[in-house]
Chain A
Amino acid sequence: MSDERVFMKGNHAACEGAYRAGCKGYFGYPITPQNEVTEYMSAHIWEHGGTFIQSESEVAAINMVMGASATGTRAMTSSSSPGISLKQEGLSYIAMMELPMVVMNVVRCGPGLGNIAPHQGDYFQATKGGGHGDYRLITLAPNSVQEMAQFVYDAFNLADKWRNPAMVLTDGTIGQMMEPVDYTTMPWMDPPDKSEWQLDEFQEGRERHVLTSIWLDPADMAVAHEKLIEKYERLKREEVRYTEYLTDDAEVLVVAIGSPSRVTHSAIRILRQEGLKVGLLRPITVWPFPYSAIREYADSKHVKAILVAEMNWGQMVEDVKLSVLGKKPLHFVPKHGGLTFTPEDLTEPIREILKNPESPNTLWHVS
């Protein structure tokens, strides 16, 4: 890291990433554990020529982002789980209108009001669509304060590149914690030119720009669908991102995102000191998901078993199952209720799996 380091909260760093990406509109409604985003945006977006509105509700906020984005402005909203549920209708419309925007979910424990502790129960919602209809969000999963800033910054660029909404999916731990951040990888930038499609003033001789999500004739809708699907297929080929830690010789491959991936890192260090071969594959994009990368490990000679650790009842593990295709035993270690993992939660089952790759204690069964 350079001397440019500042010590910040994840939720604040996310705002700094947005400013550097040229975000000029933030619309949101407070909810723990992401209140610091609304707080920081309300205090500082003005210094960057932007506008902040505390909306009357989450539904209003997502529609304000839709409006701002339609004018070509880089805009975002954020919330935590119950608030993100309220935004799903808007996200569906935004996806069909192919509007680039960023939404961040600092996930807390649900269902319902649940509690305000860190959780990962919104993985399905984030990666499988979330609202109605057949669409996807480009979804990035940071695991540090540095990545909170970087991934919001990257999300704006990906959203514009693909004309698609992008989500930053994080958890209460990453949003609330403070760490050093280095912004040198996030140069200040202006949004790209969107004059091809953005809504602006009447111009003599120019074709009307229309942003819509309605095609009453199924034959027309099918064309619109195909255009979306073709885009998603290209995204799946071109934008998959992940990191690997000590995976080259790993006999147990752990797959984790967010704060559990950090604890996995600690667990692996402990196990490596005992001479046990364990590695971590951490998806950066959870949509598109790194199916092929994980499948290569499932195909490899050195991997004996694969383990997924999540702060939920088992969501990403289903994507990992689609990667592994039964080629190796798949294990799952959950954490419930908003409790957080300790390294021991992972080291003990991994030692067991290394002794018996089919260890029944953690084996993931789908009947």
Chain B
Amino acid sequence: MLLEEYIFAGFGGQGIMTIGQIIAYAGMLQDFYTAWIPSYGPESRGGTANCNVVISDEIIGSPHTHHPNGVIVMNAPSFDKFEPMMASGGVLVVNTNLSPKRSERDDLSVVYIPTADIAMEIGHPVLASVTALGAFAAARGVFDDAHVEKGIDWALPARHKDMLEMNIKAYQEGKKAAEAQLKTATK
């Protein structure tokens, strides 16, 4: 049975909600049951935001997850809040540009990605979240690139379609950065 439960978290405006929708959409294209839900409570008004994604080959119960097996943290408060909640064996992507801590847990697969630096090299700071998503997809290994890339296209509003290529590049660069780290880790 496949049961993927993710929390993606960071500051409002970093594209957290969108990358959650992209991965949920990719899950749908892979014929899984898939659900996404934002945190829309008072915390989403304080500058931090997160969304939950559940992907499964069986009907999804709650879209909320309390023990995620996949987490992206784009800032330090999100690291503090969600890293301890993670299920053993989970994948954690840390944006090192805004979250300097290292995880002390030895039951997680953690990749540390300077997503803002990579995004700026490609050409736009908004690409940081998709870079993180690329790293996440590489570490988690559940999604076909073609489906995620379709998801990126779907999530881009018509007025930003000129950014599609840059987004896909950011996704690929994020993947590469994670793959390089995962290789070193297994050596």
Contacts and interface: CB of A to CB of B under 8 A. Distances in A.
Interface string A19-33: 000000000000011
Contact of A177 (B37, B42, B66): B37
B61 interface: yes
A180 B64 contact: no
Interface in A236-268: 259, 262-267
A contact residues, range: 20 to 34
A342 interface: yes
Nearest to A267: B61
Contact of B37 (A178, A341, A343): A178
Given A33-B40, A116-B40, A176-B40, A342 B66 contact: yes
A172 B42 CA distance: 14
Nearest to A264: B61
A346 to B, nearest CB: 10
Given A115-B42, A116-B41, A343 B35 contact: no
A117 B61 CA distance: 18
A146 to B, nearest CB: 11
Contacts of B59: 265
A173 B66 CA distance: 15
Nearest to A7: B25
B40 A340 contact: no
A179 B36 CA distance: 7
B24 A263 contact: no
Contacts of A177: 35-37, 63
A340 B64 contact: yes
Interface string B22-38: 00110010000011111
A337 B62 CA distance: 17
Contacts of A263: 61-62
A269 interface: yes
A194 interface: no
Interface string A102-142: 00000000000001110000000000000000000000000
A342 B63 CA distance: 10
A70 B185 CA distance: 70
B142 interface: no
B85 interface: no
Given A7-B28, A180-B28, A266 B61 contact: yes
B62 A259 contact: yes
A234 interface: no
A5 interface: yes
Contacts of B25: 7
B contact residues, range: 20 to 34
Interface string A308-343: 000000000000000000000000000000101111
Given A7-B21, A33-B40, A115-B42, A269 B58 contact: yes
Contacts of B21: 7, 178
Contacts of A343: 61-62
Contacts of B154: 7
Given A7-B28, A343-B61, A178 B36 contact: yes
B156 to A, nearest CB: 14
A28 B141 CA distance: 44
B60 interface: yes
A178 B35 contact: yes
Nearest to B20: A178
Contacts of A269: 58, 61
A33 B41 CA distance: 9
Given A263-B61, A266-B61, A267-B61, 7 more contacts: A173-B63, A177-B35, A177-B37, A178-B37, A179-B63, A259-B62, A342-B66
Interface of A: 5, 7, 32-33, 115-117, 172-173, 176-180, 259, 262-267, 269, 338, 340-343
28 contacts: A5-B28, A7-B21, A7-B28, A7-B34, A7-B154, A116-B40, A117-B41, A173-B64, A176-B38, A177-B35, A177-B36, A178-B24, A178-B37, A179-B36, A179-B63, A180-B34, A262-B63, A263-B61, A264-B61, A265-B59, A269-B58, A269-B61, A338-B41, A342-B62, A342-B64, A342-B66, A343-B61, A343-B62
Interface of B: 21, 24-25, 28, 34-38, 40-42, 58-64, 66, 154
* A-B residue pairs, 5 tightest by C-beta: A266-B61, A177-B37, A178-B36, A263-B62, A177-B63
